[in-house]
Each structure stands twice: as structure tokens, then as C-alpha cells.
Amino acid sequence: MFARLAAVLLVSTTALAQAAEMKVCVEGAYPPMSMMNEKGEIVGMDIDIAKALCAEIGATCPLVKTDWEAMIPSLLEGKCDAIIASMSITPEREQVVAFTDKYLQSPSMFIARTGAGLTDTAEALAGKRVGVQRGTVSHDFMTGEFPKVELGLYGSEEEIYLDLKAGRVDAAFVDGGTGETAFLKTPEGAGFAFFGRPHTEKKYFGKGVGIALRPADGARREKLNAAIRTIRANGKYIEINNRYFSTDQYGD
């Protein structure tokens, strides 16, 4: 009898431990949202948001460094339980994963050398080479709206900036927030500037950035939605935001 009771308690304890853990897929190559520091640790706004939300829901959250294109497959295969990696909520992605409410919304912008004389129209950029991160909503936007542009496809925004500076692309199309903080405000970004208007077209950029979950994880989704509302209300969100940006990245 005691052996049976011990076994039941062991199973229950294990289940509780598993329930209190949420493995989080992160990228580590998207500064300042997710990047590697000098100690080899993954840091950034996405990481700080993940930690704040995990504290709210009472979960421990091991970080799983994952290449961007492997994010959704890793979630569906159970290698992680959530994606907190500045992933836009789009109809295509909603067919395979469930999203929380948004936790930020930053527009995408074009960057080129100052004085390049470029404008963000399909006609003006026809025949130009524009760098974009493959598999992103920015990639979808460029394919759909700028069909005569030659796209340079990259695994990360950091790679785009290297080729932009070297002149191997004429322009970059990147997240406006990260483009400003990770490139334009650094020594490497000297002589470059945004051009054109901010792009947030819902057809491509969806409803903002959310946390991706497996479709069956409805209870976890509700807990995270409540946690997002809490850190917005109690000031924790803006405290994190201000470590990286001068404007509120949550959007309207």
C-alpha cells in the first residue's frame, strides 16, 4: 500500500514539475531583442519579457537557442513549449500554431546609405538588390509588393548589415526597432539611414508580435495573456522596454 502511495506521489510530483516548466525557443541572433553577450548568454528584450512572463505564471523557463527557420518545427516537435522570438502573428502561421495576444508591434523599414536617393516604391527599387531575413514577414512583404527587386536572403539581420556596409546589397528591409538600435546607432551604421515610411500592412505583418504555442495549449495561452496584461499594467513591461528602446514597442 505504501509503495503504491509513494508511486502515486512520485507521478504527481513529476507532473507538477513538468507543468511548472516551459521551454522557450529563442533565436540569439536578433539584437536587441535576442543576442549573445560576452559570457555566451542569450540576452535581450525578448529574453527579459520571457523571464517576466514566466515569473508571473510561476514557471521555470529554460531557453532553447533555435535557428529562425526551425522555430515552428521545434515547437510542434516538442523541443520547446513556446516561441518568444519577435514572431509576427499572421494568418499563415495561425494555421499551424496558436498565438497569445501581442506583446509588441514594431514596423519594418528600409535602410540605405545616406544620400542614396532611394524611395520605397516598387518602381524606384526595381532592379535593386535588397537584403531581407528569409522566412520572415518582411520576406513575404518584399516578395508580394516588390516583385522586380532582387532579394538577398539572409539567416539573420546581422548578416544583412554586413553586406549592406560592404555594398553587396543596395538596401536592407528590417524591423525598425532593431534596425535603429542594432545598426544605425552603432559605429557600423554611420553613413546609413532609414528611407521611406514605416510598414505595418496587416496583410503581411499581421496583428503584431505574439508568443507561439501548440494549438492544444489553450490553458497556457490564457495564463500568458493574463501575464502580458499584468506586466503592461504594473510597469514591468515599460521598464524592460526602456532598457533597449526610447519609444514604447508595444504599439497602439
The reported pLDDT for the residue numbered 118 is 97
Q: What is the CA radius of gyration of the chain?
A: 20
Residue 26 lies in a domain: yes
The reported pLDDT for the residue numbered 15 is 37
Report the amino acid identity of residue 115: G
Q: Is 167 left (phi over 0), alpha (psi -120 to 50) or beta?
A: left
Do residues 172 and 152 lie in contact, with contact meaning Cβ atoms separated by under 8 Å?
no
* Number of domains within the chain: 2
In this structure, are 76 and 157 located in the same domain?
no
CATH at 121: 3.40.190.10
Residue 8 lies in a domain: no
Q: What is the pLDDT along the chain (252 residues), one digit of tens a residue?
A: 434 433 433 433 333 344 589 999 999 999 999 999 999 999 999 999 999 999 999 999 999 999 999 999 999 999 999 999 999 999 999 999 999 999 999 889 999 999 999 999 999 999 999 999 999 999 999 999 999 999 999 999 999 999 999 999 999 999 998 999 899 999 999 999 999 999 989 889 888 999 999 999 999 999 999 999 999 999 999 999 999 988 788 977
In this structure, are 65 and 114 located in the same domain?
no
- CA atoms of 6 and 11, how far apart (whole Å): 9
Residue 14 lies in a domain: no
- HSE at residue 168, side-chain half, CA atoms within 13 A, is 11
In this structure, are 116 and 188 located in the same domain?
yes
In this structure, are 126 and 237 located in the same domain?
no
DSSP assignment, residue 158?
H
Domain containing residue 32: 20-105+208-241
- CA atoms of 104 and 87, how far apart (whole Å): 10
B/e letters for 69-86, b = 16+ CB within 10 Å, e = fewer, are: eebbebbeeeebbbbbbb
